[in-house]
Structure 1
Amino acid sequence: MARALILIGGTVMGSGLLYVQAAQRLGLQPITLSADPTRYDHFTAKGAETIRVDTDDLDALIRECSRLRATYDIAGITSAADSFYATASKLCRHFNLPGPNPEAIEQCLDKYTQRQLLAASGVPVPAYRLAANAADVADSAAEIGLPVIVKPAVGSGSVGVRLCSTADEVVEHTNHLLGGQHIWRSAPRMLIEEFAQGPYYTAEIMGNEVVAIGTGDFDCPPHFVCRGFTYPAQLTDDEYERIVAVSLSCLRALGLGWGPTNVELRWTTRGPVVIEVNPRLAGTPFPQLVRLAYGVDLITEHINLVIGNEWDLRRRHSHIAAARHLIADRDGTLDWIDGDSQAAAISGVTEVKFYVQPKKPILRKGDYRDCIGHVIAASFSLPRTEAILQRAVDVIGWSITPFPGR
């Protein structure tokens, strides 16, 4: 009987394909359960199996997994997306398979609950308030003091996140969130936060071990669209140790420590401050960058843990890896995009990927969906990696024709 890895849901422009490929390298049959297979690029992978299931219905997922057990030896169940990770952990518990604590995952996905637990444990976090309506948001912003971050209490990919520097901007963004343009999966709840200013860092953890610390920057203010990331971050020994200590304190505060965790921080005047804890692996391009920088394949080792194998987090080399996102500069119809083959041919470039095809509409949202592609490069030094990356980006071009009347 073939051994299978069940993947719940998928990730657009994410790491779902990497999970499928890693499962196949481990001799597993990847089977993805999704409510809408057409949304995800990795379902076209050769040899991968896809089944349409309502992923919001736990009982339906249990029935489908039970049916699959007649044909496959289900070695493990997981997900590449945070919105399905708690569901996957519940399925692991139901079928007595290795997995994280579902309760810990769910409380971590609620940013307000996460903030409360972190603050109660003494983990440095920005000042914050929870709001359910426009009046609450305005009062909270006044209490914290401008500028503030206004964002949904549940979500990812910087969707609905905005820096508001004036009271008018607070009102404008609140009206945007509550006016029907933002999709709420439950009753609207917004988090208002102090704007923690300083360099951005991200820590990748497996179990209770910090495997990698990277740095990144953002574009398109007042929104937060990821521009690029570099691993490892250039830190002093003291800075590294302080980020590690704060990151591991998050695990204790949130009841995490099984499998992957991603911690986002800002280095402020009071040192590292936790912006967000994600109880799963960060998506593309983070796994690729960690593998290039350290020789550690986080996705493969995550799957090894999921199926009950021993993992191997030993670093095999020390390179500098960096990624640059290609960000749409206007709304409209994408006429053309090219230069990928020329960029990929540059020595040191390891990956070039476009997320959109010509003739597709581009409508910027101020979040990860504004990225239309990425380039990844690696070398033995930071200046060389940055030069390779810039050279590759420079040969890529695209044209967007504005929508009529705009």
Structure 2
Amino acid sequence: MARRALVLVEGHTRGPGLLYVQAAQRLGLVPITLSADPAQYDYLAAESSEAIRVDTDNLDALIRECSRLGATYDIAGITSAAQSFYATVGKLCQHFDLPGPNAASIERCCDKFAQRQLLAEAGVPIPAYRMAENATDVESSAVEIGLPVILKPVVGLGSRGVRLCRNPDELAEHTNHLLGGKHIWRSSPGILVEEFAQGPHYIAQIMGNEVIGITAADFGPPPYFVFRGVTFPALLTDEEHKRIVDVSLRCLRALGLGWGPMNIEFRWTKLGPVVIEVNPRLAGAPDPQLVQLAYGVDLITEHIKLVIGDEWNLRRRHSQTAAARLLVPDRDGTLDWIGGESRAAAIPGVAEVKLYVEPKTPIVRKGDIRDYIGHVVAASPNFARTEAILQRAVDSIDWSITPFPTLGK
């Protein structure tokens, strides 16, 4: 009898890619990663997990490779840990008659302008927005909305190219950055000019049509939106929780979603919850670990069960508060040394300490997800204790960065 395989289209260098491989193995599946460059995923070799080089931007090539694999394995399901390939996954699942997301809905959702239009038509509360294709459009849109505004690429991930512009000089500078050849576009250039919705930031963690819980998140200093800390579950009143859940479900209906993992980002403004973004994917690390530590629900395993047509279970096993701090350098330069992770990991309540960089690594901050150099995760029965554990662990980790030489010196 052929072994059952889970096909993963691409992986994730820092995100949940490894967790998908390990969860598949625990479920008795053979994880097989299809990638344009399998060598970029170190965990594949470490887990002795099969990987096949294929052009993952070519749907026909992927169909041929999956058909070839079908001669050896029973392909139980196809999925991805990367949002940029989730629509492709939907097309593959449809071709092979496997459970999967609606590709057209995913593609609409990944276009931030199309997403805003659909949410606005459904009466979902969102910031004022305009679409711009050139500097003149950006300037006129900012005048209409009123500074400060946020500029972001219409298609993009990980806060790349996202910036708060508080005055005309910042607006012109970032417009030039996006349109002047410095930003790498994933599609034809298009800029979303958006009202800056102010207030606490929350993320609804969703599977199917069920809101599993809500995460609270904090950002570093403006003008960028780099997460510094996330806590699950958020400290909300029953009424606040209900309002976020209600708006989340309205988003799913408006966008034709409701299959598999999703997360929706909100700002709680003076008008209540305002939707910042709907992401048709599992939230990135360490969010899935926080849900598992807090509620005992393994979102990645439950997602795979859905993918292979098995019965899933989102029932809470326990209730704790889990939180993470993302480590972000305060300057550019060469990383001389970084250490203290073993001290931090030994603190009771610390669940994970992970450093992403090695000494002598050049540090060049981008103002997005690429700035992280590590994270610490902790859990305990209550919020205050978890925060105290995290602070002690973060204080145990230290590093030194020597600034790059200045020209002329």
TM-score tier by shorter-chain length is over 0.9
TM-score by length of 1: 0.99
Distance 2:165 2:86 in 1: 31
Q: Where do residues 37-116 of structure 1 align in structure 2 (5 Å cutoff)? A: 37-116=38-117
Secondary structure of the residue that 1:63 maps to in structure 2? helix
Q: Where do residues 2-401 of structure 1 align in structure 2 (5 Å cutoff)? A: 2-401=3-402
Shift of 1:220: 3.5
Secondary structure of the residue that 2:373 maps to in structure 1? strand
Does structure 2 conserve the Cα–Cα contact (< 8 Å) formed by 1:53 and 1:60?
yes
Distance 1:353 1:291 in 2: 17
Distance 1:158 1:344 in 2: 29
Secondary structure of the residue that 2:234 maps to in structure 1? coil
Which letter does structure 2 place at the counterpart of 1:317?
H
Secondary structure of the residue that 1:378 maps to in structure 2? strand
Which letter does structure 2 place at the counterpart of 1:383?
A
Distance 2:180 2:37 in 1: 26
The Cα offsets for residues 66-96 of structure 1, whole Å up to 9 and x where unpaired, read as 1111111111000111111111111111111
Does structure 2 conserve the Cα–Cα contact (< 8 Å) formed by 1:13 and 1:41?
no
Secondary structure of the residue that 1:172 maps to in structure 2? helix
The residue aligned with 1:403 is 404
Structure 1: segments with no counterpart, 5+ residues: none
The Cα offsets for residues 374-398 of structure 1, whole Å up to 9 and x where unpaired, read as 0000000111100000000001011
Distance 2:43 2:203 in 1: 26
Shift of 1:46: 1.5
The Cα offsets for residues 169-223 of structure 1, whole Å up to 9 and x where unpaired, read as 1110000011111101222000000000000000011111100101000003100
TM-score by length of 2: 0.98
The Cα offsets for residues 28-57 of structure 1, whole Å up to 9 and x where unpaired, read as 111111112232343233231111111111
Secondary structure of the residue that 1:303 maps to in structure 2? helix
Secondary structure of the residue that 1:213 maps to in structure 2? strand
Secondary structure of the residue that 1:220 maps to in structure 2? coil
Does structure 2 conserve the Cα–Cα contact (< 8 Å) formed by 1:217 and 1:227?
yes
Does structure 1 conserve the Cα–Cα contact (< 8 Å) formed by 2:156 and 2:186?
no
> Which stretch shifts more, 143-152 or 392-401?
392-401
Secondary structure of the residue that 1:108 maps to in structure 2? helix
Distance 1:311 1:129 in 2: 40
Does structure 1 conserve the Cα–Cα contact (< 8 Å) formed by 2:214 and 2:234?
yes
Which letter does structure 1 place at the counterpart of 2:99?
P
Distance 1:314 1:249 in 2: 23
The Cα offsets for residues 130-181 of structure 1, whole Å up to 9 and x where unpaired, read as 0000100000000000000001000111100000000111110000011111
Structure 2: segments with no counterpart, 5+ residues: none
> Which stretch shifts more, 376-385 or 333-342?
333-342
The Cα offsets for residues 315-348 of structure 1, whole Å up to 9 and x where unpaired, read as 0111000000000221122221111111111100
Which letter does structure 2 place at the counterpart of 1:238?
E
Distance 2:400 2:296 in 1: 37
The Cα offsets for residues 348-393 of structure 1, whole Å up to 9 and x where unpaired, read as 0000001111222111100010000000000001111000000000
The Cα offsets for residues 240-273 of structure 1, whole Å up to 9 and x where unpaired, read as 1000000010000000001111000000011000
Which letter does structure 2 place at the counterpart of 1:262?
N
Paired residues in the alignment total 406
Distance 1:324 1:41, change over 3 A: farther
Does structure 2 conserve the Cα–Cα contact (< 8 Å) formed by 1:202 and 1:215?
yes
Does structure 1 conserve the Cα–Cα contact (< 8 Å) formed by 2:89 and 2:101?
no
Which letter does structure 2 place at the counterpart of 1:178?
L
Does structure 2 conserve the Cα–Cα contact (< 8 Å) formed by 1:220 and 1:366?
no
Does structure 1 conserve the Cα–Cα contact (< 8 Å) formed by 2:350 and 2:376?
yes
Shift of 1:399: 1.4
Name the % identity: 72
Secondary structure of the residue that 1:276 maps to in structure 2? strand
